[in-house]
Amino acid sequence: MDQPEQKIKLTLPETTVEAAEKKDDGFTGASVFEAKNVSIYYSAFRAVTDVSLTIHENEITAFIGPSGCGKTTVLRTLNRMNDLIVGARVEGDIHYRGASLYERSVSPTAVRRRIGMVFQKPNPFPKSIYDNIAYGPRINGIRNKGRLDEIVERSLRQAALWDEVKDRLNKSALGISGGQQQRLCIARTLSVEPDVILMDEPCSALDPIATGRIEDLMHEIKSRYTIVIVTHNMQQATRVSDRTAFYSVLRDDKSDTRTGVLVEYGRTAQIFEDPHDTRTQAYVTGRVG
């Protein structure tokens, strides 16, 4: 029983290498998101311009780039979180599994039930650990105590947190460490069994050990979920992701405005080892940014 599990562990770091060996025309999952010529505005300010990319099923896609390049903005348009910001507007086409995300008839609530999000700063509710996880199922109408217990345990196990908190499920979620809080937030996202998980710099507030745990966790859950992660940490992108999108800032000196653009998108190994664009090369080799 122990033997195969260990083997899986050993092969984990090689996932990116394997992915690199596959050609782009090799096996890829169905497309989950298809963005075409997407521009995102905050009132009159154009934050991101002309982004087109396809995100694939059961892959981890990383968004990298310097500050202000709009990677978080793009991420937040994928589950319509930007709707919460007054003045935010999206132009162009984003399809999620064939359905247009910004169609008038689409309910943001229904979108977010399928596409969950983990934020930069761990943001557990000021409730007990149990109630944090049970929150999502409860708003979806699950009231049965036995069913909720089951979901809480399953979600915490998936997030590799169960053993650490199983004896204090009724204690405040704010009493556990930052890394545990972030895994709790991931467990909370998993509790509603989403299709996609968006992660906005989930490790930027964490130490390397907690970061490593979350990266392991991402590898473990990726067979069942599609993950998009924004990260400032290029090593993290190489460690966890199958594909990488590099964004950059386009400055307009005349009007003194900056807008984010998608420079290059491809297999992670290709982006880091054989970038086609000089800007990508400058960034991934650490000369810029």
Partner 1 sequence: MAAVSNQPTIDLREPGGWRRRKNQIATFVMYLAFVIILIPLGLVIFEVIAKGAKAISWQFLTNSTIPPNVMPLGQGGMGAAVVGTLEITGFAALIAVPLGILGAVYIGEYGGKSWLAKVVSFMADVMVGVPSIVMGLFIFTVWVIPRGLNGLSGLAGSLALACLMLPLIIRSTYEMLRLVPNHLREASYALGATKSRVTLTVVLPAALSGIVSGSLLAIARAAGETAPLLFTIGAVESTNTNLFSGATTALPAQIFTNALSPYVGAEDRAWGAALTLIAIAFILLFVARIVTARFTRYAR
Residue closer to partner 1 by CB (options 42, 125) is 125
Residue closer to partner 1 by CB (options 1, 86) is 86
- Is 99 a binding residue for partner 1 by CB under 8 A? The answer is no
x/- letters, 74..93, toward partner 1 (CB under 8 A): -----x-x--x-x-------
Rounded least distance, CB 286 to partner 1, Å: 31
Q: Which residues of 97-131 are buried (b: 16+ CB within 10 A; e: fewer)?
A: eeeebbeeeeeeeebbbebbbbbbebebeeebbbb
Residue closer to partner 1 by CB (options 59, 200) is 200
How many residues bind partner 1 (CB under 8 A)? The answer is 34
- Is 127 a binding residue for partner 1 by CB under 8 A? The answer is yes
Distance CA 24, CA 252 (A): 34
Rounded least distance, CB 112 to partner 1, Å: 4
Region 166-195 residues binding partner 1, contact defined as CB under 8 A? 172-175, 185, 188-189, 192
- Is 105 a binding residue for partner 1 by CB under 8 A? The answer is no
- Is 136 a binding residue for partner 1 by CB under 8 A? The answer is yes
Q: What are the DSSP calls for the chain, one per residue?
A: -HHHHHHHHHHGGGHHHHHHHS-TTS--PPEEEEEEEEEEEETTEEEEEEEEEEEETT-EEEEE-STTSSHHHHHHHTTTGGGGSTTEEEEEEEEETTEETT-TT--HHHHHHHEEEE-SS----SSBHHHHHHHHHHHTT---HHHHHHHHHHHHHHTT-HHHHGGGTTSBGGGS-HHHHHHHHHHHHHTT--SEEEEESTTTTS-HHHHHHHHHHHHHHTTT-EEEEE-S-HHHHHHH-SEEEEEEEEEETTTTEEEEEEEEEEEHHHHHHS-SSHHHHHHHTTS--
Rounded least distance, CB 122 to partner 1, Å: 9
Stretch that binds partner 1, among 133-141, 207-215, 221-229, 238-246 (CB under 8 A): 133-141
Residue closer to partner 1 by CB (options 189, 280) is 189
Q: Binding residue for partner 1 (CB under 8 A) from 140, 144, 177, 235?
A: 140
Q: Binding residue for partner 1 (CB under 8 A) from 30, 99, 139, 288?
A: 139
Q: Binding residue for partner 1 (CB under 8 A) from 31, 54, 58, 128?
A: 128
Stretch that binds partner 1, among 45-53, 67-75, 128-136, 201-209 (CB under 8 A): 128-136
Q: Give me the residues that bind partner 1 (CB under 8 A), please.
A: 79, 81, 84, 86, 108-114, 116-117, 119, 121, 123-128, 131, 135-136, 139-140, 172-175, 185, 188-189, 192
